[in-house]
Copies of this chain bind each other. A is one copy, B any other.
Amino acid sequence: MLRLSKKTEYALIALKDIALNSRIQLMTAREISENHQVPRDLLAKILQTLTHHSIIRSVQGAKGGYILNKPVEEITLLGLIEILDGPAGLMECSLPEPVNCTYLDTCSIRCQLALLNQKILAMLQGITLRHFLRNELKAVLG
């Protein structure tokens, strides 16, 4: 299928919350989880992963939490997908991993799909957290 993972959705929801509060205070996983009815443990792991990739910064201990670590313009949807779900690509052969597909050499649709893949990834890279804060998506998507 062609679906965004829940992890990605949860990340967007959380990042939006964090972004909107960044100047005021740290946000905890608990707060975000309760705001949006997202499974807490899962959200926590997502936020940890985002921390590893320097999307957000964490503060441990009581009164701890998360805060943005990048300008909202630099947090792209494609970036989040790749951080949380691994390399993105429409076809197996568009991924960096070792490719198992045995049709590679003789595949009759590979270049057409590669072109499509390129366009979709470019679209996803063009969308940033900023577009989720305000309703600026229209401008980007034409």
Interface residues of A (CB under 8 A from B): 1-5, 9, 12-13, 16-17, 36-38, 77, 81, 85-86, 88-92, 102-103, 106-109, 111-113, 115-116, 119-120, 123-124, 127, 131-132, 135, 137-138, 141-142
Chain B nearest Cβ from A112, distance in angstroms: 5
Given the interface pairs A2-B4, A89-B3, the reply to whether A109 lies near B16 with Cβ below 8 Å is yes
- Residues of B within 8 Å of A137, CB to CB, are 112, 115-116
Q: Which of A81, A108, A142 has the most CB of B within 10 A?
A: A108
Quick check: B127 and A116 within 8 Å, CB to CB? yes
Quick check: B91 and A115 within 8 Å, CB to CB? no
- Contacts A16-B108, A36-B108 given; 12 further ones with Cβ under 8 A? A1-B88, A2-B2, A2-B124, A4-B113, A13-B103, A13-B108, A38-B103, A77-B116, A108-B132, A116-B127, A119-B141, A120-B120
Quick check: A116 and B91 within 8 Å, CB to CB? no
Tally of this chain's copies:
2
- Residues of B within 8 Å of A131, CB to CB, are 112
Quick check: B138 and A115 within 8 Å, CB to CB? yes
- Residues of B within 8 Å of A4, CB to CB, are 2, 90-91, 113
Chain B nearest Cβ from A55, distance in angstroms: 16
A-B CB contact pairs (8 Å), 16 listed = A1-B5, A1-B86, A2-B2, A2-B3, A2-B90, A3-B92, A4-B91, A9-B91, A16-B109, A17-B108, A108-B132, A111-B135, A115-B137, A115-B138, A115-B141, A120-B123
